[in-house]
Structure 1
Amino acid sequence: MQSWQSMVEANAARLIRTTGRTPADWAAEARTAGVGTRDELSLWLKGQGITGYNLMSIDWEVFGLPEFFLRSADELYDGQYADRSTLRPISDRILLWASETPGVIIQMRKTYVSLQTSRRKFAQLSPSTKTAVDLYFRLEIPGLPGLEPVRAAQDPFAWRVRLRRADDVDDAVLRSLSTALADSLAIPSA
């Protein structure tokens, strides 16, 4: 399982690859330019052609990482289920499948777990309520009982199944994860 550290490192590597400069180099220049707030940094960097993940990497260098970025994967996972321990066996079953399946990367976040390949996320697991864990998919998976559309603007995860007990993680759910994984690994046609 991975924590936020892998994202921090990937963003720094992307910045170096695209600009030839490290986050520390950009942070020093921003300080010299008199940048003192996040808004000022964002405007200043956008003027330099720096946006998105590259901008985040410099922001973290100047102002520090959010507190939850400093937590380990285990600490993040424990935090998700601190007040809903009866739901953890549901997620544990899915994470067992993910850890035993070649090509799956488990990425812990503060409020959810991302299941991804080197190409993109294919599923997301979240203890959304005190009584259920939601498993989100990018694609509609025919034949998966309980699959329903989710109305969230700008979110590629348009489908969800709500899991209330560990036994809900059955063969149909695991086959659906395998289907979503295969879709994520497929090379798009040109």
Structure 2
Amino acid sequence: MGKSPDEMMAAILRNLPAKTGRDAGGWAALIKAEGPAEPKARARWLKQAHGLGGATAQVLAAHALGGIHDLTPEQRLDKLYEGREDLRPIGDRLTALARGLGADVTSTVLSTMVSFSAGLKFAEAKPAGKGRIDLGLALGREPLPPSAVPLTPVKTADASDRITYRIPLASVDAITEEVAAWLARAHARVATRD
């Protein structure tokens, strides 16, 4: 199995001095002093003004923000469910199902969701308020067969968005065998890519 996103981020930060002549602290100081405030603009600026690669620029832009990026995965998970602890069992069950799909599956706790990847992102578990988690799935743009599960197209999905459908889940009991089958189908789409 490849490196997890957290391991890749740590490796990029660890290798900065050898590759760029500056450590992460030096880059963070430069970004805060001279770079734009918005994270995506920071990454673009790092690529254009300093010739950094895309992954390195994104990691440095995130690192300069501090906050959630400085927390361990478990601390990020606690922060994600802060104030909506009732949703955590739903998220934990989805994580167990996703990770059970294969050794290629990694889960990454982000500030607003848990992302599931197998080379490419195939699903996400995103708390939506205090009452539910939306399971987002990368199922492509073709029409899907009828389902007993409330599978809804993502309205904001454009050609670059991987997540194209969502299933709202308000309890662990709502994670039926059919929900698990849709998650497996999304995984199979990325696991069998050329």
Say whether the fold is shared (TM-score over 0.5): yes
Question: Structure 2: how far apart are the matches of 1:178 and 1:123?
Answer: 10
Is 2:132 the counterpart of 1:127?
no
Is 2:41 the counterpart of 1:38?
no
The normalised TM-score by structure 1 is 0.75
Is 2:92 the counterpart of 1:95?
no
Q: CA RMSD in A?
A: 3.5
Question: Structure 1: how far apart are the matches of 2:173 and 2:80?
Answer: 20
Is 2:179 the counterpart of 1:173?
yes
Aligned to 1:149: 153
Q: 1:89 to 1:43 in 2, by over 3 A?
A: closer
Question: Structure 2: how far apart are the matches of 1:185 and 1:44?
Answer: 32
More relative contact order, 1 or 2 (CA 8 Å, 6+ apart): 1
Paired AA for residue 148 in structure 1? T
1:100-141 CA distances to partner (integer Å, 9 max, x unpaired)?
A: 332211111111000111x20100101112111000011165
Paired AA for residue 52 in structure 1? G
Aligned to 2:19: 21
The answer to whether the 8 A contact 1:23-1:57 is kept is no
The normalised TM-score by structure 2 is 0.74
Question: Structure 2: how far apart are the matches of 1:85 and 1:44?
Answer: 38
Question: Structure 2: how far apart are the matches of 1:184 and 1:14?
Answer: 30
Per mean C-alpha deviation after superposition, the further-off stretch among 44-53 and 105-114 is 44-53
Aligned to 1:114: 115
SS in 2 for 1:139: coil
The answer to whether the 8 A contact 1:3-1:72 is kept is no
Question: Structure 2: how far apart are the matches of 1:178 and 1:99?
Answer: 10
The answer to whether the 8 A contact 2:107-2:116 is kept is yes
1:58-101 CA distances to partner (integer Å, 9 max, x unpaired)?
A: 5567xx35221111111111112121122222112111222333
Question: Structure 2: how far apart are the matches of 1:184 and 1:100?
Answer: 15
Question: Structure 2: how far apart are the matches of 1:113 and 1:14?
Answer: 26
Paired AA for residue 54 in structure 1? T
Question: Structure 1: how far apart are the matches of 2:46 and 2:89?
Answer: 47
SS in 2 for 1:162: strand
* Structure exhibiting the larger radius of gyration computed from Cα positions: 1
The answer to whether the 8 A contact 2:9-2:59 is kept is yes
Paired AA for residue 72 in structure 1? T
Gaps of 5+ in 1: none
Q: 1:48 to 1:71 in 2, by over 3 A?
A: closer
Gaps of 5+ in 2: none
Question: Structure 2: how far apart are the matches of 1:123 and 1:66?
Answer: 26
Q: How many residues align?
A: 179
